[in-house]
Structure 1
Amino acid sequence: MSSASARLLKLFEGHRLTPTQRRIAHCMVRRAADAPFLSSVELAELAGVSQPSVTRFAVALGFDGYPALRRHLRESAPDPEAAGTGTGTGAAGGADAAGNEYQQAVQAEIDNLRHLAALLADPAPVERAGRLLAASRPLPVLGLRAASPQARGFAYFAAKVHPDVRLLDEGGSMLEDRLDACVRAGAGALLCFALPRHPRETVAALGRAREAGLSVVTVADSAFAPVAHPDDLLLPAAVGTGLAFDTACAPMLLGRVLLEAMADELPDAQARLEEFDARAAERGLFME
């Protein structure tokens, strides 16, 4: 993580932000180098919110208004000129302003992946998560609504190396029953994929998991997501917001990184993979 991003995260910590304000905060972290130079209108456009929402966001942080927030960011930057001069959306990444809306959406996802790569410069959180997930028997994997594909993909591959993976991708009255069954079976940790819009059921399920003593590892779109809890290990991976429906390349990739970290902690992971390949060949599962 860059020093500019770290300063912004520290500024936002401890504030109870609305979903719209979390969206602005997330956008500023992604654009940390340019944030001190963006006007309220430019920031609103980048975050996909209204200009008054940016003003309310600044006030929620304790500033008189957005100009005061921007002035604070400029004064706290160690080398303002190194961050660029800021000339609208182009200053937030020249490629972002080029091309049509589809190209811009792709470029935004590239930026999300770059930000994820920067976060992974410190592998300790992912390695800790890998140890927690590998040790849990069974391993419940939670993901509802928009997060269901991420949870299902993780569970599919995790089952190849982990002896007992249990997918929780449907809400309703059965969700708590299935979670309780995992606890009774000896689960020690839960992996949650939480993406916007965040279902209330996800928040409730995570609360139940904590009450049961499970260690919670959460892949969320932002450190300010409503599922965030100080006792959890939260790993942020931004979603793209340039299209009508969010795109989730970074959360998907982070899920694969967690799979790698978990497999590294399972001594028989390679043997399980080789056994699966042998059975697949015997059954003729794949066109090879």
Structure 2
Amino acid sequence: MQVEFHFARNFKLRPLTPCSLGVILCRRLCASHPIGPPCHRRVCPRLRPSRWRTPTVLGTAPSLQVDWQNRRFCSIVLHQADTRQAHAVRKEVTVSENECNEFSELVRAHFDSLTKSERRIADYILRNSDEAAFLSAAELADRLGLSEATIVRFAHTLGFAGFPELRACLQDLFRRRVSHAARLRKKLAEISPESHILEQVVAMEMEYLTDALQTVSRDAFDEAVRLICGARRIFVYALSGSATLAELLQHRLRRFGLEVVLLTQSGREICEPLLTLGSQDVLFALLFFNLSDVMEATLAYAKACGARVILLTDTLGPLLREHTDVLLEAQRGPVMAFHSLIVPMAIIQALIIAVAMADKEKSLATLDKLDEIRRRLSFDVPVRIWWREKKGSG
């Protein structure tokens, strides 16, 4: 049997048994591990070599230099070779920055009060924080083979009002850690040289569009249409790249005779347009992935004014639910993907058509009036008429 390992903190190992190896590694890691102190008299379950029986001589094999305070990546790789079975089993134990954040400190503070099942939940979340941040309580319970009530009790034990608040905390930590460059790097890695990039990207977006049908509530969509049609004015709020979607929605709804106010300003400039926001108005917000204090304050102010708030988002629902009347959640692909605006644009297009359908006569009459105005102002004079008039004057 051969055991190899790579670790960040360099120290020499003497001949030792597999169990003592587990204890040493456990002490070295768990001293700074977020879910508890050193295990001392038992082998850490993260490193327990269940089939190791013979002593093994190991030497130092440093491969990484890790600054634990700066939360850089560290991994320990254990290889077990069984000559009798003529195969090798490779085990990886990873300690990453996922385990070094505010949530892990919270788990450590409440570790003694956690039950065995709750410690399983904590360990799973710490190891799979990117995924767990976007799972529902039912989905997380299914992954661990536990009841949904156990998941909720775990959230209560940590001091959260419920699981949605716990998930909102995890999502906030995730957004602060994941950069645009990391997501683009992942997207580029998914591109295969075997087929054209155009074909692959279109196929991905088609898949995301299909998945969006499962995440957007039909009842919420219909309620959004009803609020838009009944509003005195629609304030469309979006920033950065999402502003293009806001401009599209404003452009189309105005053609149906609706009064639309575009809110794409940042900083203090957004305050003046909000002066006239009232209880008969609707704030339609398009916010994706990142959330700022100004965004949340804008939605909270709209609710305080009595306006109805519609939010189209991908992952911000749990964070902004209390400030919204209608939530349209549209997943734009995996959370670590480099997202496009195709999915929300399709939903915007569906809303535009639905608003037109809600009052066909008014929508068509308004468009006819627009054509008449254009004709009178000579913006859309047919070519044949222009050519005939030119020949007659010549």
TM-score norm. by structure 1 comes to: 0.62
Counterparts of 1:175 and 1:268, CA distance in 2 = 31
| Aligned position for 2:233 | 138
Instruction: State whether structure 2 residue 373 is matched by structure 1 residue 279.
Output: yes
| Aligned position for 1:162 | 257
| Aligned position for 2:295 | 202
Asked whether the equivalents of residues 104 and 242 of structure 1 are also in contact (C-alpha less than 8 Å), the reply is no
Asked whether the equivalents of residues 145 and 199 of structure 1 are also in contact (C-alpha less than 8 Å), the reply is no
Which amino acid counterpart does residue 123 of structure 2 have in structure 1?
Answer: G
Asked whether the equivalents of residues 139 and 165 of structure 1 are also in contact (C-alpha less than 8 Å), the reply is yes
Q: Offset at 1:127?
A: 1.1
Which amino acid counterpart does residue 115 of structure 1 have in structure 2?
Answer: D
Q: Offset at 1:264?
A: 2.8
Q: Offset at 1:114?
A: 0.6
Q: Offset at 1:105?
A: 4.4
Counterparts of 1:196 and 1:223, CA distance in 2 = 6
| Aligned position for 1:65 | 123
Asked whether the equivalents of residues 97 and 104 of structure 1 are also in contact (C-alpha less than 8 Å), the reply is no
Between the two proteins, what is the percent identity of the paired residues?
Answer: 18
| Aligned position for 2:205 | 109
**RMSD (Å), alpha carbons:** 4.0
| Aligned position for 2:313 | 220
Q: Offset at 1:130?
A: 0.5
Q: Offset at 1:211?
A: 0.6
Q: Which runs of 4+ in 1 moved over 6 A?
A: 54-61, 67-71, 241-244
Instruction: State whether structure 2 residue 304 is matched by structure 1 residue 234.
Output: no
1:225-265 residue CA offsets vs partner (Å, 9 max, x unmatched): 64343643110123357999631111111111122222233
Q: Offset at 1:150?
A: 1.1
| Aligned position for 2:73 | none
Q: Offset at 1:52?
A: 5.2
Asked whether the equivalents of residues 277 and 305 of structure 2 are also in contact (C-alpha less than 8 Å), the reply is no
Relative contact order higher in (CA < 8 Å, ≥ 6 apart): 1
Counterparts of 2:288 and 2:316, CA distance in 1 = 12
| Aligned position for 2:363 | 269
1:154-185 residue CA offsets vs partner (Å, 9 max, x unmatched): 111111013311111112223122112132xx
- How many residues are treated as equivalent by the alignment? 220
| Aligned position for 2:181 | none
Which of 336, 343, 350 in structure 2 is aligned with 1:257? Answer: 350
| Aligned position for 1:37 | none
Unmatched 5+ residue regions in structure 2? 1-91, 108-116, 133-139, 147-188, 384-394
Which amino acid counterpart does residue 288 of structure 2 have in structure 1?
Answer: L
